Chain A
Amino acid sequence: MTSNKRVSMIVAAGMAFAPLLGSTAAIAQSKETITFAGATFAEAGRGEKLKAWVEKFNKSQDKIEVQPLAIPFSTLANTVFTQMGGGGGPDLVRFDQIDFYAAVPANRLLPLDDAIKDTDYNFTAPDKYLKVGGKRYGVAFEISNYVLIYNKSLVPGGKPPATFEEFLASAKAATVDGKFGFAFRATMAERAGFWQDVCNFVFGFGGRWSDDAGNPTVNSDKVVEGIAAYKKVYDLGAIPKGADAATYRRMFWEGKLAMEVDNGGVAAIFNQQAPDLPLAAAPSPFPTRAQGLILAPLTINANTKHKDAAIAFMKWVLRPENQRELQDIIGASSVATIVERSADDIAKKPWLKVFDDQTPNAVPQLVIGLETKTPDIQQIVLEQVLKVLQGGMDPKKAMDDAQRMVTARVVKK
Chain B
Amino acid sequence: MGVLSLRQGLHLAAILGLLGAAAFPPYWMFVTSLTPSAALFADRARLLPTLSEAAAYREVFRTIPVATWLVNSAIVATGTTVLSIALAILPAYALSRFRFRGKGIFGFALFATQMLPEAMLVVPLYGIFAQMSLLDSLIGLILANTAFTVPVITWILKGAIDGIPIEVEEAARIDGCSRIDIVLAVVVPLVAPTLAAAAVIAFFHGWNEYVFAQTLVSSEALRTASVGLAGFVGELSTPVHSVMAVSVIYTLPAVIFYLFVQRYVVSGMTAGSVKG
Complex: A256 Cα to B136 Cα, angstroms: 42
Which residue of the partner chain, among B43, B75, B220, B233, contacts A20 with CB atoms under 8 Å?
B75
Q: Is the CB of A73 within 8 A of B234?
A: yes
Q: Is the CB of A254 within 8 A of B37?
A: yes
| B10 within 8 A of partner (CB) | no
Q: Is the CB of A86 within 8 A of B126?
A: yes
Q: Is the CB of B240 within 8 A of A88?
A: no
Q: Is the CB of B215 within 8 A of A82?
A: yes
Within the complex, the shortest CB–CB distance from A350 to chain B, in Å, comes to 21
A25 and B136 in contact (CB under 8 A), knowing A85-B126, A246-B238? yes
Q: Is the CB of B37 within 8 A of A43?
A: no
Interface residues of A in 86-144 (CB under 8 A from B): 86-88, 90
Q: Is the CB of B43 within 8 A of A177?
A: yes
Could you pull out 26 A-B pairs where Cβ atoms are within 8 angstroms? A21-B79, A23-B133, A23-B136, A24-B219, A25-B133, A35-B218, A37-B218, A43-B234, A43-B235, A44-B234, A71-B231, A72-B231, A73-B234, A73-B235, A82-B122, A82-B126, A85-B126, A85-B127, A86-B124, A86-B129, A86-B130, A247-B240, A249-B236, A250-B237, A254-B37, A266-B236
Interface residues of A in 29-85 (CB under 8 A from B): 35, 37, 39-40, 42-44, 46, 69-75, 79, 82-83, 85
Residues of B contacting A24 in the complex (Cβ-Cβ under 8 angstroms): 136, 219, 221-222
Q: Is the CB of B240 within 8 A of A250?
A: yes
Complex: A273 Cα to B220 Cα, angstroms: 26
| B123 within 8 A of partner (CB) | yes
Residues of B contacting A23 in the complex (Cβ-Cβ under 8 angstroms): 133-137
Residues of A contacting B135 in the complex (Cβ-Cβ under 8 angstroms): 23, 88
Interface residues of B in 224-276 (CB under 8 A from A): 230-240
Interface residues of B in 26-47 (CB under 8 A from A): 37-38, 40-43
Residue on B with the closest CB to A180?
B41
| A178 within 8 A of partner (CB) | yes
| A157 within 8 A of partner (CB) | no
| B96 within 8 A of partner (CB) | no
Complex: A250 Cα to B240 Cα, angstroms: 9
Interchain Cβ contacts within 8 Å, total number? 113
Complex: A8 Cα to B233 Cα, angstroms: 45
| A202 within 8 A of partner (CB) | no
Q: Is the CB of A265 within 8 A of B236?
A: yes
Residue on B with the closest CB to A39?
B235
| B196 within 8 A of partner (CB) | no
Which residue of the partner chain, among B75, B123, B136, contacts A85 with CB atoms under 8 Å?
B123
A75 and B127 in contact (CB under 8 A), knowing A40-B235, A43-B236, A247-B238? no
Q: Mark B193-226, 1 if CB is under 8 A from A, else 0.
A: 0000000000000000000001100111110000
Residues of B contacting A213 in the complex (Cβ-Cβ under 8 angstroms): none
| A251 within 8 A of partner (CB) | yes
The size bracket of the interface on B is 35 or more
| B95 within 8 A of partner (CB) | no
Which residue of the partner chain, among B219, B230, B238, contacts A75 with CB atoms under 8 Å?
B230
The 8 closest A-B pairs by CB, nearest first: A86-B126, A246-B238, A178-B43, A73-B235, A86-B127, A21-B138, A23-B137, A85-B123
Within the complex, the shortest CB–CB distance from B189 to chain A, in Å, comes to 16
| B139 within 8 A of partner (CB) | yes
Complex: A177 Cα to B42 Cα, angstroms: 9
Complex: A217 Cα to B156 Cα, angstroms: 56
Residue on B with the closest CB to A268?
B236
Which residue of the partner chain, among B126, B220, B222, B233, contacts A72 with CB atoms under 8 Å?
B233
Complex: A87 Cα to B220 Cα, angstroms: 21
Among the interface residues B130, B139, B220, B234, which one has the most CB atoms of the partner chain A within 10 A? B234
Complex: A86 Cα to B215 Cα, angstroms: 10
Residues of A contacting B219 in the complex (Cβ-Cβ under 8 angstroms): 24
Interface residues of B in 1-58 (CB under 8 A from A): 37-38, 40-43
Residues of B contacting A40 in the complex (Cβ-Cβ under 8 angstroms): 235
Within the complex, the shortest CB–CB distance from B90 to chain A, in Å, comes to 15
Residues of B contacting A83 in the complex (Cβ-Cβ under 8 angstroms): 126, 215
Q: Is the CB of B124 within 8 A of A246?
A: no
| A391 within 8 A of partner (CB) | no
Interface residues of A in 231-265 (CB under 8 A from B): 244-247, 249-251, 254, 256, 265
Within the complex, the shortest CB–CB distance from A279 to chain B, in Å, comes to 15
Residues of A contacting B234 in the complex (Cβ-Cβ under 8 angstroms): 39, 42-44, 72-73, 246
Among the interface residues B142, B218, B221, B232, which one has the most CB atoms of the partner chain A within 10 A? B218
Q: Is the CB of A70 within 8 A of B130?
A: no
| A269 within 8 A of partner (CB) | yes
| A18 within 8 A of partner (CB) | yes
Residues of B contacting A71 in the complex (Cβ-Cβ under 8 angstroms): 214, 231
Residues of B contacting A273 in the complex (Cβ-Cβ under 8 angstroms): 237
Complex: A25 Cα to B136 Cα, angstroms: 8
Residue on B with the closest CB to A265?
B236
Residues of B contacting A70 in the complex (Cβ-Cβ under 8 angstroms): 220, 231
Q: Mark B107-122, 1 if CB is under 8 A from A, else 0.
A: 0000000000000001
A79 and B215 in contact (CB under 8 A), knowing A25-B136, A88-B126? yes
Q: Is the CB of A90 within 8 A of B218?
A: yes
Within the complex, the shortest CB–CB distance from A28 to chain B, in Å, comes to 15
A22 and B137 in contact (CB under 8 A), knowing A40-B235, A44-B234, A178-B43? yes
